[in-house]
Structure 1
Amino acid sequence: MVKLLAEPAPGKINLCLQITGKRADGYHELDSIFLPIAWSDMVRIETRPSDTPRVSLRCDEPGLNDSQSNLASRAAGAFMREFAIAAEVIVDLRKRIPTGAGLGGGSSDAGAVLRMMAAIFDVSSPARLAAVALQLGADVPFFLDPGPARVRGIGEVIEPLTPMVRLDLVIAVPQVNVPTAKVFAALRREDWSGPLADSNLPPILSGRISATQVINDLARPAMSLFPDIARLKALLEEEGARVAAMSGSGGAVFGLYDDGPTAEAAALRIRPRAPDALVKSVATTSLAELRNSAFSTEVA
């Protein structure tokens, strides 16, 4: 029987990203606040009976149609291998989140595929699903159930943060693709700030956020490699952001504003000042809110 599901795949910002150590295998450990945002890809999967596992991919963004490298199609294949399932899976991906920006678009697509595959094949094994997600990438476990969370380790330790107030943002993405590996290669030991202070959590949860809570240890190496990131961060601050910071390994930067209209007005002023950048006013959100929004019916 043919089965079809569609899900929004939200991006995220790292409100903070603090390096706490480096493992023997070379992976860095972190302490970070992940917040999903109302800037989403849409992922649809269609499954058909098959004697052997097969995955095909359709994507509306040129350059992302390789099913061997795209995280969404790789997630479908990894799921079938882990749970010994044979099916034909067609992944249809509508990209909205810019790639190579530190907003988690590819990881979110993979998380959405794993969620839908688990629902279609009636798989209820959170630990095994999380292990598959982590094999795909450090951010993918968060996107199995994206909501405000403190994320530690190499991405496998996820602590939901509730209640968390809505934050209104302007996100600016420079016209550069920032390779995560290149940024980590430029990271120095003195860049590490260590674990997030527990005293920072109450102001984060309440939205009373200051620069002392918005730390990204990857900012210095990323900005040294790609100066446009620093210029956009400064522009957000000039245009009234209470605080501004880089998300993930870059190149997206975000600024926090008092409310949605203020953020949108700032975005309108920033766009002509940064004509090569993608500038968007968004808010933090939850998967439930996205599912209930008009966007979630775009490809129903």
Structure 2
Amino acid sequence: MVKLLRESAPAKINLFLRVTGRRRDSYHELDSVFVPISIYDRLDIELRPARIAAVQLCCDSNIIPADERNLAFRSAREFLTEFNIQAEVLINLHKEIPAGAGLGGGSSDAGAVLRMMAELCGIPQTAPLLAVAMRLGADVPFFLNPTPSRVRGIGERSEALGQIEKPFLLIAVPPVEVPTALVFRGLRPEHWSGPASDHDILAIIQGRIGREHLVNDLEQVAIAKWPEIGEVKRLLEAVGAHAAAMTGSGGGVFGIFSSSGEASRACQEISRRAPQVRTFTPSVL
């Protein structure tokens, strides 16, 4: 029996991203607040019975690979292997989340595929599914249930924050694609800021977010390699953001505004001053 499912995969921003240490296996341990936002990729999955497990992916973006280099492709293959399912999986991926922008597009696609495959195959979202997500990448477990969360370690510890006061956002993405691994390779212990305080978390929950809360330990490294990121951050502040920071490993930068109207006006001003910069005014989900 052929089974079909369609779902949207949201982007995310990191309101802060702090490095707390480095493990013996060279992975960095982090402390971060992830919030899902209303920029979406769309996925259609078709599951067909087959003698041999197989995955096929089609994507409408010619800069996104459609083979094992793609996290959505790998997540389907890992799922079939983990749960010993013989099926052919056809994935149609429509991209809206900018690549290499720190918005979690690839990880969100992978999380969506795991959620969809679990639903199609009647697999509960329990420890084995989380283990598959962890193997795919540190951000993927968050996207199994994307809700505002504090994420620690290498992504394995996630604590939902519940209802938070949602900030008004403007996201600006310069025309650069930032490889995450390259940024982490440039990270040094002097860049680490350590874990967030309870005060930082409470300020985020209550919507009292200031510059002192938007710490991203990767920002200095990324701006040194891609100065356009720093230029976009300064532009956001110039058009009225009361706080701005890079998200993830970059190169996207978000600004926080006092109202949706201010964010929209700032968006228009950035489009006028820097038409090469992609802008979004998403909501926090």
Q: Do Structure 1 and Structure 2 share a fold, with TM-score over 0.5?
A: yes
Gapped runs of 5+ residues in structure 1? 286-300
Query: Helix, strand or coil: the match of 2:25?
Result: coil
2:256 maps to 1:243: no
Asked if 2 retains the 8 angstrom alpha-carbon contact of 1:111 and 1:133, the reply is yes
Rounded to whole Å, the distance in 1 between the matches of 2:162 and 2:104 is 21
1:292 aligned residue: none
In 1: Cα distance, 2:259 partner to 2:277 partner: 22
**What is residue 113 of structure 1 aligned with on the other side?**
113
Q: 1: distance between equivalents of 2:154 and 2:252? A: 21
Q: Distance in 1 between matches of 2:266 and 2:246?
A: 17
Q: CA deviation at 1:165?
A: 1.8
Question: What is aligned with 2:253?
Answer: 253
The worse-fitting range, judged by mean Cα deviation, of 185-194 and 15-24 is 185-194
Question: How far, CA to CA, are the matches of 2:235 and 2:61 in structure 1?
Answer: 29
Residue in 2 that maps onto 1:221: 221
Q: How many residues align?
A: 285
Contact 2:41 2:93 in 1 (8 A): yes
Question: Which position in structure 2 is the counterpart of 1:76?
Answer: 76
On the 8 A contact 1:57/1:65 being kept in 2, the answer is no
Decide whether the 8 Å contact of 1:165 with 1:205 is kept in 2. yes
Aligned to 2:159: 159
| Secondary structure of 1:48's aligned partner | strand
Separation of aligned partners in 2, 1:140 and 1:77: 15
2:163 and 2:68 mapped to 1: Cα distance? Answer: 39
The residue aligned with 2:56 is 56
Contact 1:168-1:258 at 8 Å conserved across structures: yes
Q: Spell out the pairing of 1:259-274 with structure 2 (5 A cutoff).
A: 259-274=259-274
Distance 2:125 2:105 in 1: 24
d(CA) in 2 for partners of 1:234, 1:5:
42
Alignment partners' CA distance in 1, 2:125 and 2:30: 26
The equivalent of 1:294 in structure 2 is: none
Post-superposition Cα deviations, 1:172-198, rounded to whole Å, max 9, x if no partner, equal: 001111011111111111110000111
What is the DSSP-based 3-state SS (H/G/I as helix, E as strand, rest coil) of the residue aligned with 1:187? coil
Shift in Å at residue 102 of structure 1?
0.4
Q: CA deviation at 1:125?
A: 4.6
* 1:68 to partner: Cα distance: 1.6
Q: State the 1:272 CA deviation.
A: 1.7
SS class of match (2:281): strand
Aligned position for 2:8: 8
Scaled by the length of structure 1, what TM-score is found? 0.93
Q: Provide the rounded CA distance (Å) in 2 between the counterparts of 1:200 and 1:5.
A: 39
SS at the partner of 1:162? Answer: coil
Distance, in Å, in 1 between the alignment partners of 2:7 and 2:167 is 23
Q: How far, CA to CA, are the matches of 1:64 and 1:279 in structure 2?
A: 20
When structure 1 is superposed on structure 2, of 180-189 and 12-21 the one drifting more is 180-189
The 5 A counterparts of 1:92-131 are 92-131=92-131
- Whichever residue aligns with residue 203 of structure 2, its letter is P
Q: Please state how far the C-alpha of 1:63 moved relative to its aligned partner.
A: 2.9
Identity of aligned residues (%): 52
Q: Distance in 1 between matches of 2:13 and 2:228?
A: 18
Tell me which stretches of 4 or more aligned residues in structure 1 moved more than 6 Å.
none
CA distance in 2, matches of 1:59, 1:264: 30
Q: Secondary structure at the match of 1:283?
A: coil
The residue correspondences of 1:186-205 to structure 2 (distance < 5 A) are: 186-205=186-205
AA partner of residue 64 (structure 2) = L
Q: Tell me the distance in 2 between the aligned counterparts of 1:65 and 1:14.
A: 25
How big is the shift at 1:155?
Answer: 0.7
Indicate the SS of the match to 1:78: helix
The structural deviation recorded for 1:65 is 4.0
Q: State the Cα distance separating 1:52 from its structure 2 match.
A: 1.0
Cα distance in structure 2, aligned partners of 1:132 and 1:120? 17
- SS of 1:30's partner is strand
SS in 1 for 2:143: helix
Deviation string for 1:93-123 (max 9, x for gaps)?
A: 0000010110000000000000000001000
Of the structure 1 ranges 152-161 and 63-72, higher mean CA displacement relative to structure 2 is found in 63-72
> In structure 2, what is the equivalent of residue 290 of structure 1?
none
Separation in 2, partners of 1:260, 1:94: 27
